[in-house]
């Protein structure tokens, strides 16, 4: 990878991806919890999740718990691979920089 993945590289999206990668089996995290972890507003977080969803990096599930709506977000296999590639790209930069 010559350039970082522009979709992940944006700071809020990077935080989303990292938070989701930290969940066992990369499985769903509720929107409210993700909002707290990332520190974004609902609208901002929603827009970034949509960008990641359109890229195929996350899957969004919407359902109800009783009468309350619930939105959960999880990394897809494509998203897991993209994040791993992004981390490898950063490690490569660090390794190259320390060799100089």
Tens-place pLDDT, residues 19-70: 999 988 877 999 999 999 999 999 999 999 999 999 999 999 999 999 999 9
**Which pLDDT band, with edges at 50, 70 and 90, does 98 fall under?**
low
29 CB burial (10 A radius; 0-12, 13-18, 19+): buried
Identify whether 81 is part of a domain: yes
In terms of residue numbers, what domain contains 56? 6-99
Identify whether 60 is part of a domain: yes
Identify whether 63 is part of a domain: yes
Is 13 within 8 Å of 19 (Cβ atoms)?
no
Identify whether 85 is part of a domain: yes
Question: What is this structure's pTM?
Answer: 0.89
The domain spanning residue 90 has which CATH number?
A: 1.10.10.10
Question: pLDDT at position 99, please?
Answer: 52
Unique residue bearing structure tokens 């499985």: 27
């Amino acid at each position: 990878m010559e350039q970082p993945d522009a979709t992940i590289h944006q700071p809020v999206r990077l935080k989303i991806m990292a938070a989701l990668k930290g969940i066992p089996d990369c499985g769903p995290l509720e929107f409210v919890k993700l909002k707290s972890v990332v520190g974004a507003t609902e609208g901002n977080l929603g827009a970034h999740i949509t960008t990641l969803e359109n890229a195929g990096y996350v899957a969004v599930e919407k359902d109800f718990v009783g009468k309350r709506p619930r939105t959960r977000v999880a990394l897809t296999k494509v998203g897991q691979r993209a994040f791993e590639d992004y981390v490898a790209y950063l490690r490569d930069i660090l390794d190259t920089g320390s060799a100089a």
